[in-house]
Amino acid sequence: MITRHISTTTWKAASRSSVRFSRAGYGIVRLRALATLAEIVRSDDTFGIPVVDFGRFRTNDPAAKLSTAKEVVDAFKEVGFVYLSNHGIQDEKINNAFKKSKAFFDLPEEKKAALAWEDPRSNRGYVQQGRERVTQSSDAQEIAALREKAPDYKESMEIGRDWDATWKNQWPQEQDAPDFKSTFLDFFKTCHEFHTLVMRSIALGLSLPETFFDDKIQEQYHNLRLLAYPSIDTRLLKAEGSARAGAHSDYGTLTFVFQDSVGGLEVQNPHTKQFHAATPIPGTIVVNVGDLLARWSNDVLRSTLHRVVAPPAHNGPITPARQSMAFFCNPNGGAEISCLPTCLKEGEKPKYPTVQTEQYIVGRLRATYS
């Protein structure tokens, strides 16, 4: 199936007679008589992840900010994913982060193993290939069986806020990975600042004060994950139940995905349950809703299943190596997550009980790792 990316102007007005899509290859295709995003994504023939120009939110124009906020929230309501262009994070910074990430994963195994991930409360350090098995299951025996039968074909390095009084990051020696620590301390800070902006757009789009979330996320209780997917026999990836990362949702508020050009990320159409490729688009960041934000919004915003598989267009015997970086955004650790006031209709009850951020995320992580 051809991947489609819905342009920012696609669903703005029901009266428009045509819809613009940016397909793989970034040509423009027009489809008649589809006016709203809700109509577009309900069919696998027209499903796409919206592309929103976030530069318009970064202006001082209230009208531009509000219209962009509504586009972001509409994308999260119907798909759970969006591509943000003109996001303000410099290409040079992203490219340098990829370079330093690759240099780390190229280190000898014993150097990386010395930094091993140890505790879900910390969620910091190196995770060797096969240790994590992402899944929607919370049953320890089922996850162990899945890990044995079809492990995730990836390795990762987990980085948290560096000033935490209890949990410390696992940094490689400077001589082993020059500028690794300084690069990712800066990248972590940049992603948090971007998180604040995107959450402000969500607040406006949900008819909340723009700064509603500011004091609920300022502790930077986030996780930066560097990911390396080694080259692999394509037959292994296409075996039943196998994937570079199995189908799952994320845990927190938002996830920012920086991906290279290889591809393989797939997003489930929440309306039909079919998976579609999230083809890399240069200059964009893929952003998706996590489970805590879905709970916070009473499922007004969708936490959508996604996975990493062999790229759809790849038919060779060896699937090439892939790099990505995921910034998992979370509310403050002690934040109590309960239904937002604008996400509950009159007479309606919240779908979920109140949950504390740290307890929820640590519980999910504990089930995920062996």
Domains, in order of start, for the chain = 95-368 (2.60.120.330)
Q: What is the pLDDT of residue 33?
A: 41
Look at residue 264 and tell me whether its pLDDT is greater than 80. yes
pLDDT band at 311 (very low <50, low <70, confident <90, very high): confident
- Contact 49/81 with Cβ under 8 angstroms? yes
172 DSSP 8-state letter? P
244 CB-contact burial (10 Å; exposed 0-12 / middle 13-18 / buried 19+): buried
Look at residue 24 and tell me whether its pLDDT is greater than 70. no
Residues with Cβ within 8 Å of 8's Cβ and at least 6 positions away in sequence, in order, are: 50, 51, 52, 53, 71
Structure tokens of 349? Answer: 């009850």
Q: Is 233 or 333 the better-scoring residue by pLDDT? A: 333
Look at residue 117 and tell me whether its pLDDT is greater than 70. yes
Contacts 24+ apart (CB under 8 A), 106-113: 107/172, 107/176, 107/177, 111/172, 111/176, 112/155, 112/157, 112/172
Q: What is the pLDDT of residue 138?
A: 47
Ranges 125-139, 175-189, 235-249, 296-310, most confident: 175-189
Which of 95-99, 135-139, 149-153 has the weakest average pLDDT? 135-139
Alpha helices in 238-290 (DSSP H): none
342 DSSP 8-state letter? G
Q: Is 22 or 226 the better-scoring residue by pLDDT? A: 226
Q: What is the pLDDT of residues 52-86, one digit of tens each?
A: 999 999 999 999 999 999 999 999 999 999 999 99
Structure tokens of 188? Answer: 């972590």
Q: What is the pTM of this model?
A: 0.88
Q: What is the pLDDT of residue 177?
A: 98
pLDDT band at 20 (very low <50, low <70, confident <90, very high): very low
Which of 18-27, 116-125, 300-309, 329-338 has the weakest average pLDDT? 18-27
Euclidean distance between the first and final Cα of the chain, in Å?
A: 36
Closest CA to 56 of 191, 190, 193, 201: 201
Calpha distance 13→274 (Å, rounded) = 27
